Homo-oligomer: A and B are copies of this chain.
């Protein structure tokens, strides 16, 4: 049986710090990636930390996307969690890499709800 959910953990390294530093820009990039992957957006929130860093979450009908950025390290941690078969979370990866100018990345995908049998 397929898992109930797919959870993609995406590590972005050597990004453009300017693209990680502004909540409006981060919001635009993550919402764009969600839309490109066919997500149905329910609601979202993005928070600008001082002196730097952004945290954002997009709740979608298929579960969520989340991002935390460390501009001073050129690093962002992104999660794309989907349930159902209509949305493929891996389709978010390329637009996210491009949006933040990541020169290195790592992806791990974890099945959620595997113990439901």
Contact = CB atoms under 8 A, between A and B. Distances in A.
Interface of A: 4-5, 7, 9, 11, 13, 42-43, 45, 47, 49, 55, 57, 59, 61, 63-64, 66, 68, 70, 73, 75, 77, 79, 81, 83, 104, 106, 108, 110, 112-116
Contacts of A49: 61
State the oligomeric state as a number of copies.
2
Nearest to A115: B13
The interface residues of chain A, by DSSP majority, are classed as: strand
B110 A9 contact: yes
Contacts of A66: 57, 64, 66, 81
A13 B57 contact: no
